[in-house]
């Protein structure tokens, strides 16, 4: 399967908005995404964007990987391979940067299964995300 990783571009954000809405999710505002929406990775299948995720770098040994989103109308057969490739790409980037740990959250069973296959520890006791927008 022909998959390619690239960094997110400014012009990707409009497409990502459509993807979030297509899944029935709220749109994640650019101002809370790393690098104003460009701090992440896009995976393409045969030249077409299929899945993306964001990396929050820190001054500690840990990074946060989140907001994984795919094209809801995209190639369903390629999607799990693209998600796996996205996670592997982020793992390599984080390791190459000298970081020791990546953390992420999800309630998607398919995403959890892929993480587990890649050796991630999945907490057996679910947590709750707590977010407060400070304006």
Is the pLDDT score of 16 beyond 90?
yes
Looking up residue 70, the CATH number of its domain turns out to be 3.40.630.30
Q: What is the pLDDT of residue 48?
A: 95
User: Does 11 reside within a domain?
Assistant: yes
Between 93 and 133, residue with greater pLDDT: 93
Q: Are 16 and 10 in contact (CB under 8 A)?
A: no
User: Does 103 reside within a domain?
Assistant: yes
Mean pLDDT, the chain, as a whole number? 92
Label residue 43 left, alpha or beta by phi (over 0 means left) and psi (-120 to 50 means alpha).
Answer: beta
User: Does 124 reside within a domain?
Assistant: no
Q: For the segment 72-115, what is each residue's pLDDT rounded down to a tens digit?
A: 998 899 999 999 999 999 999 999 999 999 999 888 788 888 88
Q: What residues make up the domain containing 98?
A: 3-117
């Amino acid at each position: 399967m022909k998959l390619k990783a690239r960094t997110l571009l400014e012009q990707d954000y409009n497409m990502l908005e459509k993807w979030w809405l297509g899944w029935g999710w709220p749109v994640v505002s650019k101002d809370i995404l790393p690098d104003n929406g460009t701090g992440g990775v896009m995976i393409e299948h045969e030249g077409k964007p299929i899945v993306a995720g964001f990396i929050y770098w820190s001054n500690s040994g840990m990074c946060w990987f989140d907001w994984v989103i795919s094209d809801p109308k995209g190639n369903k057969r390629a999607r799990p391979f693209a998600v796996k490739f996205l996670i592997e790409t982020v793992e390599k980037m984080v390791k190459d940067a000298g970081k020791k740990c990546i953390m992420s959250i999800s309630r998607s069973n398919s995403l959890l299964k892929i993480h587990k296959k890649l050796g991630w520890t999945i907490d057996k006791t679910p947590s709750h995300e707590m977010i407060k927008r400070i304006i």
